[in-house]
Structure 1
Amino acid sequence: MNMYLYGHDGHWLMVDCGVTFADDSVPGVDLILPDPAFIERRRDDLVGMVITHAHEDHVGAITHLWPDLRCPIYATPFTAAVLRIKLRETDYADQVKIIEVPLGGDVQIGPFGVGFITMTHSVPEPSALVIRTKHGNIVHTGDWKLDPAPQVGASYDEAKLRRLGEEGVVAVMGDSTNALTPGRSASEEEVREGLAAVIAAQKNRVVVTCFSSNVARIHSVVLAAQKAGRHCALVGRSLWKIMEAAQSTGYMTKLPEPFIREDQFGYIPRDKIVLICTGSQGEPRSALSRIASDSHPHITLEAGDTVIFSAREIPGNEKAIGRVQNALVAQGVTLLTPDDAMVHCSGHPARDELTTLYQWLKPKIVVPVHGEERHMQAHAALAREGQVSETLVPHNGALIRLAPGPAEIVDNVEHGRLALDGHHLVPLDGEAIRDRQRIIHNGAAVITLVLDRDGRLAADPKVALLGIEDAEDLAESEAEVAEEVRGAIQNLPRAQRNDDSAISETARVTVRRTIRSWHGKKPVTEVHLIRL
């Protein structure tokens, strides 16, 4: 969920605008976004947004937040193509100004000179940025690795990185994801060879699930399928969208044959097909989840088929992935994961790659970002071991002075998280989400009271208990709670019976106390009071 702001000369430049995916702790919410309130109030000073690459945690919030920002967006051709496809689902696509920057290109955005540096990652056209100011050069790495054979797209621009180091770099804002991992990340070329070997060894249907944006991985599966004498199918809307973006920008244009559609699945013999599916992270509505639950309209698997997880689990997704994998195993499907074969490699730099980058760039300051606390602290320690004179581990909302002078957190700005709740954005820590979480754990109760002008009950209290009792006990329990409420109200002093707030609070406390004595729960309680 990346969103960074660089301030200089009275203006701001945004880098990336991404989402993260909600887990079971936030019921009813699919996406979580950064709260841009700080920059919304300074929108007139926001000169542009630069996107480093087309992953959802860097680009996914644009369709939700751009109407509040309304700034031009700068991206390389593939990233721009993905963004245009996403914007087609909005009613303001024609209002968004997208400026395509060629790979390795430069652009002036207000007082910021921004240079794109071609890197390698698990998506085409990832770029590090050099942000040039009168106080020096800042490098924002984005997500990257040093892959000499990325299979799709250009390799990293070592010469440009070395030249930048000779020119001088004040600070690097750097990817920390694999800062605890020794050595180097494997190459996509090794994964291509591993997938070819694994797919060739299978006798029945093969399903490969990976991130839809990993065009090189999809290409490797296509070639492995061709080598094994199999046809290849795409299953999942996001995969078709990525293919559209890739082919419109010159990638994946020379396929052995067109992809099979999912509705053609049943006509292909079991030993002649490879399916590429979304759902490597156990997403409930993904193609693989529906296949695992036997609810997909076109695709079913049988005992002896194989599913290859060509992706590592993102922390927090373990339960969802486990549910899908258990459902597949229950059908007799064979699972292969990166623990079993060379079917995946990370898109992020391990420790030796970080060291190499700092040897090239020679920065004065390193600010680890994009990782959990333990990753960022390890990244900072590694930079210090490599003779970087200053490191600073930030937190969300930190306002950091990079230059002139030493790096320092000088302030903390308003920040937070927004939840996409249906079609609306609400604060993640707001009342609506908190109440929903409480209801899940404690249930809910609704009481309706009808009183006359003198504060006497004009009808029996009505109580509805939700998520507290099973059906066979519900009516009896509701009647007992209603009787407790009746007694509490009748025992109120006469003066309080004319006070609606006092009556409502008495009813609310009575219900919660009664339910707590029965079940140890404190339900979310709502009182409806009607005066005749």
Structure 2
Amino acid sequence: MSSDRLIYLPLGGAGEIGMNAYVYGYGKPGQERLILVDLGVAFSDMDTSPGVDLIFPDMTWLAERRDQLEAVFITHAHEDHVGAVAQFYEDLGAPVYARAFTANIARRKMEEFGYSEKSVRTVSAWPEVTQAGPFSVGFIPISHSIPESSGLVIDTPAGRVVHSGDFKIDANPVVGEAFDPELWGSLAESGVKALMCDSTNVFNAHEGRSESTLGPDIEALVAGAKGMVVATTFASNVARVRTLAEAADRAGRSVCLLGRAMRRMIEAAVETGVLTSFPKTISPEEVKEIPRENVMLIVTGSQGERRAASAQLAQGKYQGITLKEGDTFLFSSKTIPGNERGVIRIINQFSEMGVDVVDDSDGKYHVSGHANRPDLEALQDLLQPDVVVPMHGEHRHLREHVKLAKEKRRQGILAVNGTMVDLTGKRAEICDYVETGRVYLDGSIKIGALDGIVRDRIRMALNGHVMVNVILDEDDEPLGEPWCEIKGLPEEGRSRAPLVDVLEEDLSQFMGRAGRKTMTDDEKLEEGLRKITRQSAQTEIGKRPEVTVIISRLSA
């Protein structure tokens, strides 16, 4: 009997929505040949990761086994699936495979880092397969909210695994391939050992709606608007962008795309033949020369991102374009949980300008790209897998999806990030746990979540900062009084005296009574100065700020 095993290990995307990264392995324990499915990012927020640009899954476990890694397969071009391919390409050292549209987006990312376009290899859809060590991998077209989304058929010596990718069952997705039940049903003919499945909308019991149902309502809204119309949606939702642009064209409005991501997605769709028609667009400079009622802007920033076009317009002006009273702004998107504050801020800013804001609270202008519960059941019925392993969801989504699998009389197994599942036998079993976590892109540098940098930044944001400076002469005696500089703190405290004066007086008294052991030991002196500063600030302003102490000593 073979001692080889088939394993599944999520490093990101299982227990959270974002930064998807899923490892499959086959071989002797600890020596498995590996493939990685997807390598994405998550986005930071000011509450938990201030100043951070992007968040990545911690790929240390896989990077330490790079000599076992055969390939990376990308299911589709959403940032939470493809956004980190260039960031980790050198660490992993494996070729990247994707279909044409996704490969186009991935190559653009690689080029920004100076990598060759040959680092990403374009593959065709099923029945074409790519051999990667013991794995035979095929891309199965599936409908989602971005062109050329694919599930993966992963054939191994231990059986067939299907990785759904992000999906919905849509017979008319406007752009991209429709869901083909015959094709997906045919995958079950040789038996499916395991289905790794999208869990995002497992709590939604309603039938999913097709992307094609939105056109009439969007057209009616645009046709009835009086001033300039602006619409925002996910830049990657090429079908929605086209629906918006065609609504503008039918209403006699010229279309302008604002935002780098928006233009990049449309360019990629045209270059790869995904889009064969799109209304003519105009430049931001041309917008200013046309009557407002004859223009429609399609812009980035549907999630309230501070640097995106929507936020810039809400603050007053973007590329010379301003909105005015009587204009209309449409959110043709769903606000992702956690982004509500940024979206509401933009809505209120537009309201203060007199701009009429239309959101998707009544479901007329947006449909989800993810499978609702009936779609999840339908996919299980088509594939008849032995085991269902939920992915792409928070813990509550995964747990509910396990319950759904059990209702369908199948084994369901909950595997969050770091949980290794052995799929070899008749029943899947958890066989190991590995360390997983997050890596932050801070400017141009990757930092670990446990490095303390973001923690210190949060502490300074919450408590302010004091810098204490002291100078000691050759005899270890104070040369003058200590002095302070404060950041993010009120100038006066309870005593009504300047806070700096109060701190400096208390520090001076401490220096005056400190013994020689303290004055000759930088570590002890720094500890004492920090303690006095925080105690004094607590008394004056009710906060214990972060303190930096600089001790300068004059040499003999």
TM-score category of the 2 structures, normalised to the smaller one? over 0.9
2:88 alignment partner in structure 1:
65
Q: 2:124 aligns with which of 99, 102, 111?
A: 102
1:416 aligns with 2:434: no
Alpha-carbon distance between aligned partners in 1 of 2:312 and 2:445, rounded to the nearest angstrom = 26
What is the deviation of 1:474?
11
Q: 1:170 to 1:244 in 2, by over 3 A?
A: same
Contact 2:58–2:439 under 8 Å retained in 1 = yes
Counterpart code for 1:312: K
Deviates more, 1:137-146 or 1:102-111: 102-111
- Residue by residue over 1:157-214, the C-alpha shift from the partner in whole angstroms, topping out at 9 and shown as x without a partner, is 3222111112111111110100000122110110122212221222221111001111
Deviates more, 1:465-474 or 1:487-496: 465-474
Q: 1:375 aligns with which of 397, 402, 408?
A: 397
User: Equivalent residues in 2 for 1:315-464 (5 A)?
Assistant: 315-340=337-362, 342-388=364-410, 390-464=411-485
Counterpart code for 1:461: P
Alpha-carbon distance between aligned partners in 2 of 1:504 and 1:88, rounded to the nearest angstrom = 48
Which structure would you say has the larger RCO, counting Cα contacts within 8 Å and 6 or more residues apart? 2
What is the deviation of 1:429?
3.5
User: Equivalent residues in 2 for 1:66-85 (5 A)?
Assistant: 66-85=89-108
Q: 1:149 to 1:49 in 2, by over 3 A?
A: same
Contact 1:117–1:157 under 8 Å retained in 2 = no
**How many residues end up aligned between the 2 structures?**
529
Alpha-carbon distance between aligned partners in 2 of 1:306 and 1:479, rounded to the nearest angstrom = 53
1:120 alignment partner in structure 2:
143
What is the deviation of 1:251?
2.4
The alignment yields a C-alpha RMSD, in angstroms, of 1.7
User: Equivalent residues in 2 for 1:144-293 (5 A)?
Assistant: 144-256=167-279, 258-293=280-315
2:15 alignment partner in structure 1:
none
Alpha-carbon distance between aligned partners in 2 of 1:193 and 1:44, rounded to the nearest angstrom = 53
1:4 alignment partner in structure 2:
22
1:509 aligns with 2:527: no
What is the deviation of 1:369?
1.0
2:508 alignment partner in structure 1:
486
Deviates more, 1:174-183 or 1:26-35: 26-35
Alpha-carbon distance between aligned partners in 1 of 2:226 and 2:56, rounded to the nearest angstrom = 43
1:86 alignment partner in structure 2:
109
Alpha-carbon distance between aligned partners in 2 of 1:341 and 1:334, rounded to the nearest angstrom = 18
User: Equivalent residues in 2 for 1:516-527 (5 A)?
Assistant: 516-527=538-549
Alpha-carbon distance between aligned partners in 2 of 1:56 and 1:443, rounded to the nearest angstrom = 34
* TM-score scaled by length of structure 2: 0.92
Q: Secondary structure at the match of 1:14?
A: strand
Alpha-carbon distance between aligned partners in 1 of 2:358 and 2:37, rounded to the nearest angstrom = 37
1:49 alignment partner in structure 2:
72
Contact 2:491–2:500 under 8 Å retained in 1 = no
Q: 2:328 aligns with which of 290, 306, 315?
A: 306
What is the deviation of 1:20?
0.8
Alpha-carbon distance between aligned partners in 1 of 2:505 and 2:431, rounded to the nearest angstrom = 59
Counterpart code for 1:305: D
Q: Secondary structure at the match of 2:388?
A: strand
What is the deviation of 1:252?
2.4
Q: Secondary structure at the match of 1:280?
A: coil
Deviates more, 1:28-37 or 1:262-271: 262-271
Q: Secondary structure at the match of 1:496?
A: helix
1:140 alignment partner in structure 2:
163
- Residue by residue over 1:271-299, the C-alpha shift from the partner in whole angstroms, topping out at 9 and shown as x without a partner, is 22211100100000101110111031321
Contact 2:491–2:498 under 8 Å retained in 1 = no
Deviates more, 1:423-432 or 1:436-445: 423-432
Deviates more, 1:506-515 or 1:260-269: 260-269
Q: Secondary structure at the match of 1:522?
A: coil
- Residue by residue over 1:131-175, the C-alpha shift from the partner in whole angstroms, topping out at 9 and shown as x without a partner, is 111111111111000000011122123222111112111111110
Alpha-carbon distance between aligned partners in 2 of 1:332 and 1:429, rounded to the nearest angstrom = 46
Contact 2:326–2:354 under 8 Å retained in 1 = yes
Q: 1:293 to 1:454 in 2, by over 3 A?
A: same
Alpha-carbon distance between aligned partners in 2 of 1:67 and 1:405, rounded to the nearest angstrom = 38
Q: Secondary structure at the match of 1:383?
A: helix
Q: Which blocks of at least 5 consecutive residues in structure 2 are unaligned?
A: 1-18
Q: Secondary structure at the match of 1:379?
A: helix
1:498 alignment partner in structure 2:
520
Q: Secondary structure at the match of 1:529?
A: strand
Q: 1:465 aligns with which of 473, 486, 489?
A: 486
Counterpart code for 2:301: G
What is the deviation of 1:454?
3.5
Matched residues, percent identical?
39
What is the deviation of 1:404?
2.5
Contact 2:492–2:498 under 8 Å retained in 1 = no
- Residue by residue over 1:434-472, the C-alpha shift from the partner in whole angstroms, topping out at 9 and shown as x without a partner, is 110000000111111111343321221121121112389
Counterpart code for 1:7: G
Alpha-carbon distance between aligned partners in 1 of 2:426 and 2:460, rounded to the nearest angstrom = 51
- Residue by residue over 1:464-503, the C-alpha shift from the partner in whole angstroms, topping out at 9 and shown as x without a partner, is 1211123899993223212211221222222332222111
Contact 1:454–1:497 under 8 Å retained in 2 = no
Q: Secondary structure at the match of 2:214?
A: helix
